[in-house]
Structure 1
């Protein structure tokens, strides 16, 4: 008992002392605009990967650290650079795979940011910047926790560790499956920690036990061979915008619930969550009503949703009295746990084809599907993680579902069926990931580092 207490105290002290350096390193990563989308400077992805590799080297943990990539199946291209670092287990200890991603979402309109998106800025206990939370903070939780256990346990550390920091998660993880296959031996592990989710609030840690799947695609609606004068032919010739608006409106009932036959729902209880909390966390004005039916969290965690995330049409500045021949939209659907994403996409495509107005021509492209995820909460690693989170935050962890998707987890399950997967993170309801003014709650980051350090120390004490 004395040994365990001394060991935990050493880990706590090391985790505490690791925070200033970790935050400085996080700031340096945020300054790199590592956007994987091809419209942006792709050299920044390599710069970001090299920086992460240097951080991995700095832990003194790994036998091997490399920046590498994998082929994108069905193409002649390779995916974006990833970091792979490995350390072999000793004396019968388990191996843990630590995952995060170093690419970030596009920052959007600079004018919507209160400070420059790639200049880390601290305000009111939060660090602002694109990637400050999603997911460069996830990288630094891993790095800082590894530094802490190395300092606290030293040469007695026997835990096997694989660190996989992906470079294209925000752009669909196109080479993820191939990367896993190419590096299966290096990545094979007993426990996988995915640091890309969030917590119940800034004080309450969470373990994500369900995620919705996704089905994203591009739809082109065409009604004319060429643009025509709206005065000469309006009223008899259907323009593409009119057809698109009518078609898209069939996707929802009047209350905003998804109206596509063949999309499933999951029947599962959810915790209490008030409309007042929803309005605060989502930025929903008092006059705007929530959509859908059932419990609020049930709508987010267990039901499908459909969102139009992009549209190519004549801009307001270029508007003229013209009938548009075609309109292109991007449709993003979230799929309830328990349904295959491919089946959900097929149902949506069938619905759209059946409801195309005026014989409008539909073209589907860029289909990207990822399956939902449900955690088996009966494993020993789940209990170990809950305990570490509780001790790290000083408050019991809760199991949560998430309305978002992490499609590559299904690849991890397929490639490593025997591994226990733990989905953690540093985000909170006010993080605004993917949005302007993304931020990291600094106290949450400190607690997350301590929790993961305690988890790693607990794994190191376990014999398989």
Structure 2
């Protein structure tokens, strides 16, 4: 066996051997309900950050490990606690920044969970629990990979490492840009690994090379200055619900494709992806047709989408024969790679104002924008991560797009323009991130840890 192969195999063996401990530590993290929403117990985020910091400190390789916060721009409010750890490079080696987040989504309707959301449960080769996949598994992939590198090569390896475990990604990363600015020297790196994406399937790794952007906003529709009796005036008076329904319907054509002038699409090839796969991965009901036209995966990766994700109106339980004066909706749009989120939002606002029925009054507020992202795949770090994924999974990775968004990547590009950004992940299409019964496929996690450990080993051998 060659020396190079031996060094690689020693990392692989260390990573494989560390999986039981990594899963045990992941289970402990899942038990902490670290939800960044202000209505939740914020002390749990502190508890979660401290638990992550203890795991990072326990690797024994960092010069400094801290739990810290930054101010949310435009306010006097501090963001949620993040973990920052640094280790200086030696002998001309690069520095890699490892990112993940320890906060999680709210649980939604607890009755839909088959097991308690904050009690990690293993069944059928998967670990269930809120955050088990998104993104505490990403946190543990970093920790486990560092442990494996350390076991294989000792604590005096040459690679520089910066570790940033955020505490508010699910709540909009409100202090993220300020955190980067406050800690620019500590975070400056040659390669950035963002462990917050997914894979093509349970056995095939994915390297995310494109991400849609997002444009989220609240729109209020008003037609009356007070409520009125629907029997007395219905048929002559358009209430806000009637106007809102008609207005929202103009944003899609009859086949479900976005019908807003000015929203752009990206022209790019995509792998084969069948309607049957879509149904399996999403739970699309029998008899319900997919929306849109052209290649299915292209609709998700390269075209815009518009979803109404919230509405303030009279509940079913409180319904009465009343004309509603005002309705508010939250619209979440995904922006195709290549178009700015600001331009996409401007196109939607112009469309809605132009199509408001009956002269309904519209108000727009709470606009949140995040630009799409395209990875430069020409760098040496991309070659290294593709090789590591191939070795770790035994299958060559597929370059994938993601229909979701990671808006803070634009902040990373702006703050560290010279860094090569690699977007990886531990999720598979059945992880159900953000949904009840979120889960982590255990074999995918194992392969992801091995792959990241091998990547760190390759970076530790590279002189820049």
Q: Which residue does the alignment assign to 1:351?
A: 351
CA distance in 2, matches of 1:41, 1:261: 43
**Greater mean alpha carbon deviation, residues 303-312 or residues 224-233:** 224-233
Q: CA 1:49 to 1:43, structure 2 compared with 1: closer, same or farther past 3 Å? A: same
Q: Secondary structure at the match of 1:297?
A: helix
Deviation at 1:156, TM superposition (A): 3.8
Secondary structure of 1:79 counterpart: coil
- In the TM superposition, what is the alpha-carbon distance from 1:151 to its structure 2 partner? 0.9
Q: Is the 8 A contact 2:61 2:155 kept in 1?
A: no
Q: For residue 422 of structure 1, what is the aligned residue in structure 2?
A: 422
* 1:340 and 2:340 aligned: yes
Q: Which residue of 1 aligns with 2:319?
A: 319
Report the Cα offset of residue 421 of structure 1.
0.3
Q: Does 1:127 align with 2:136?
A: no
Q: Output the CA distance in 2 between the equivalents of 1:61 and 1:216.
A: 41
1:461 corresponding residue in structure 2: 461
1:171 — aligned with what? 171
Distance 1:38 1:222 in 2: 29
Q: Distance in 2 between matches of 1:170 and 1:293?
A: 31
Aligned to 2:30: 30
- The two structures have a TM-score, normalised by structure 2, of 0.99
The separation in 2 between residues aligned to 1:25 and 1:436, in whole angstroms, is 22
Q: Aligned equivalents of 1:48 and 1:366: distance in 2?
A: 29
Shift of 1:205: 0.6
| Larger CA deviation: 40-49 vs 97-106 | 40-49
User: Which aligned runs of 4 or more in structure 1 are off by greater than 4 angstroms?
Assistant: none
Q: Which structure 2 residues correspond to residues 41-440 of structure 1 after superposition, within 5 A?
A: 41-440=41-440
- Secondary structure of the residue that 2:294 maps to in structure 1? coil
Offset at residue 206 of structure 1 (A): 0.9
SS of equivalent to 1:54:
helix
User: Equivalents in 1 of 2:440, 2:155: separation in Å?
Assistant: 33
**CA apart distance, 1:365:** 1.1
Tell me the secondary structure at the aligned position of residue 5 of structure 1. helix
Segments of 5+ residues of structure 2 without an aligned counterpart are none
Tell me, in whole angstroms, the C-alpha distance in 2 between the residues paired with 1:3 and 1:60: 26
Pairwise CA distance, 1:207: 0.3
1:41 Cα deviation after fit: 1.3
SS of match in other structure, 1:131 = coil
In the TM superposition, what whole-angstrom CA distance separates every residue of 1:114-157 from its partner, at most 9, and x where no partner exists? Answer: 10111110010000011000000000000000011011100441
Name stretches of at least 5 consecutive residues in structure 1 with no aligned partner.
Answer: none
Give the superposition deviation at 1:33. Answer: 0.8
SS at match of 2:154: helix
Deviation at 1:281, TM superposition (A): 0.7
SS at match of 2:216: strand
Residue 14 of structure 1 corresponds to 14
Distance 1:89 1:270, change over 3 A: same
Distance 2:437 2:187 in 1: 34
CA contact (8 A) 2:60 2:155 kept: no
Q: Secondary structure at the match of 2:314?
A: coil
Query: How much does 1:2 deviate?
Result: 2.2
> For 2:299 and 2:81, how far apart are their aligned partners in 1?
36
The one-character-per-residue Cα deviations of 1:286-312 (angstroms, maximum 9, x if unpaired) are 200011111111100000000001111
